[in-house]
Amino acid sequence: MDNLLLSGGAIAGIIVGSVVFLLAIIFVCWWIKTRNAFVRLKNRVEEAWATIDVFLKKRYDLIPNLVETVKGYAKHESETLQNVVAARNMAMSAKTIEEKAAAENGLTGSLRTFFSAVAESYPQLHANTNFLDLQNQLRNIESELESSRRYYNGVVKSFNTKLELFPANIVGKRMGEEYTKRPYFELDSAEERQNIKVQF
């Protein structure tokens, strides 16, 4: 009888040990899966930002050509042209995403003013093929930027949400400084959220 009880106690110990071991395995698998999900999301955020950065660089590179093309026609718009160049330089020197967003708001406003002034005052630019080509390139870049910004903000939303949700937030807090909430790349106003009109 004592052998049977001992066997029953041993069996109960084995069952409890097995359950604890199984729960530990499940926990470790969940931890690894959650950690890998954070890594994938962080990489998607960084990739999305890199895409935005590429289009911003293309935009920055295009602006001096645009300004030089218009200079010959728009001698009375030197202040507007200087504002565009100053806004471009400020945007290029911005370091953080928040600084970039603020600088891009300024650049977008300067470009909007620039195109409004040029469209009204210098209709002869319609015949300049270089200007029309630059205008078309800028239009395409603006469209790509809008799509890239939307994708980036969507990925950031997923990343930030995962960092806040229990129990995944437990894993996120232990993954280091790279795994903190990311800022959105937003424009200030509804007017600035629309593409810059680069057509006459």
79 belongs to a structural domain = yes
Q: Give the contacts of 142 (CB within 8 A, at least 6 positions apart).
A: 59, 195, 196, 198
Q: Please, are residues 134 and 84 in contact by the beta-carbon 8 Å criterion?
A: no
Among 58-67, 76-85, 97-106, 155-164, which is the least confidently predicted range?
Answer: 76-85
pLDDT digits (tens, 9 = 90+) for 181-198: 899 998 765 555 454 555
77 belongs to a structural domain = yes
* pLDDT class of 150 with cuts at 50, 70, 90: very high
**What is the rounded distance in angstroms from the CA atom of residue 10 to the CA atom of residue 30?**
30
Domains held by the chain: number: 1
Residue 200 has pLDDT above 70, yes or no: no
Q: What angle do CA 108, 145, 123 make, to 5 degrees?
A: 50
DSSP symbol at 181: P
Q: Residue 76: which domain range?
A: 45-193
**What is the rounded distance in angstroms from the CA atom of residue 162 to the CA atom of residue 172?**
8
21 belongs to a structural domain = no
pLDDT digits (tens, 9 = 90+) for 20-52: 999 999 999 999 999 999 999 999 999 999 999
CATH number for the domain harbouring residue 117:
1.20.1440.20
